[in-house]
Amino acid sequence: MDEVLHIDRIRCDGHGLCAELLPELISLDDWGYPIIKAGTLWPGLVDHARRAVDACPVLALRLARTAVAAGRPIP
Cβ-based neighbours of 68, under 8 Å, separated by 6 or more: none
Q: Is 68 in the site for another protein (CB under 8 A)?
A: no
What are the residues facing 4 on neighbouring strands?
A: 64
Give strand ranges (E) for the chain.
4-7, 26-28, 34-36, 61-64
Binds another protein by CB under 8 A, chosen from 12, 25, 41, 49: 12
- Which string of x and - marks every residue 27-66 that binds another protein (by CB under 8 A)? --xxxxx-x-------------------x-xxx-------
Burial status of residue 68 (CB atoms within 10 A of its CB: 0-12, 13-18, 19 or more):
exposed
**Shortest gap between Cβ of 7 and another protein (angstroms)?**
8
Binding site for another protein (CB under 8 A): 8-17, 20-21, 29-33, 35, 55, 57-59, 71, 73-75
